[in-house]
Amino acid sequence: MKLNPIYTEITECQDCYKCIRHCPVKSIKVEDGHAKILVDDCILCGNCYLMCPVGAKRIRNDLPRAQRALEDHEKVILSLAPSFAGEFPGISEKTLIRAIKDLGFWAVSETAIGAQEVSRHTNAVLQKADHGVFISSACPTMVEYIHKHKPQYSSSIIDHLSPLLTHCQMLKELYGEDCIIVFAGPCISKKKRSRS
């Protein structure tokens, strides 16, 4: 069974229910005396993770999957979120790329390239549109929220892949379908797309 990107470590839960009070979509319920995430309602915003005072809400660790990919495949490409600059202050891009390649990655590419393509597509849609409400596909948490909790607005989401999936598609077109893409970034909800 594959873990949800955010889950409760039952043995750590102190039953304070702070996560329940802070979930914006009420996707956590008490089951057998512990707070359990309702996967079908969860939008993967991370509020419960941030609010849990004992760290019982966990983010799924996908590092073993990335390590297996590096061991088993030659062409493993890292799609790196642009937020890397804030995560590694004082480290130049060149040094970071060298370190990533030393880990065994075949190539590194910035996820923002996919975001640029999504922006171009969004702009083209808006230029052709007469009027209406349009919602970008850029934020997976917002897309999850709309599909699960405000489905009446689903048709307003611009029909395009997210920046990450667009970037993955671009990399596969450029380097071949046999390449494996690993994403590194701060967004929890992007983990849901990790098998796409």
- Could you tell me the pTM of the whole model? 0.86
Reduced to 3 states (helix: H, G, I; strand: E, B; else coil), residue 100 is helix
Q: Distances in Å between the alpha carbon of 118 and those of 133, 136, 189?
A: 17, 8, 18
pLDDT in tens, 142-184: 999 999 999 999 999 998 888 999 999 999 999 999 999 999 9
pLDDT in tens, 69-85: 999 999 999 999 999 88
pLDDT in tens, 46-58: 999 999 999 999 9
Give the pLDDT score at 73. Answer: 94
pLDDT value at 194 more than 70: no
Q: Which of 28-32, 117-121, 144-148, 189-193 has the lowest mean pLDDT?
A: 189-193
Q: Could you tell me which residues come within 8 angstroms of residue 3 by beta carbon, excluding any fewer than 6 positions away? A: 60
The token pair at 160 is 């395009």
Q: Distances in Å between the alpha carbon of 99 and those of 41, 82, 96?
A: 39, 16, 5
For residue 41, name the pLDDT band (cuts at 50, 70, 90).
very high
pLDDT value at 195 more than 80: no
Domain positions in the chain are: 6-59, 61-196
Give the pLDDT score at 130. Answer: 81
The token pair at 6 is 């955010």
For residue 1, name the pLDDT band (cuts at 50, 70, 90).
low
Residue with tokens 């599909």: 147
pLDDT value at 196 more than 70: no
Residue type, 19: C
The HSE-up count of residue 104 (CA atoms within 13 Å, CB side) is 13
First to last CA, the chain: 17
Q: Could you tell me which residues come within 8 angstroms of residue 88 by beta carbon, excluding any fewer than 6 positions away? A: 96
Q: What is the CATH number of domain 6-59?
A: 3.30.70.20
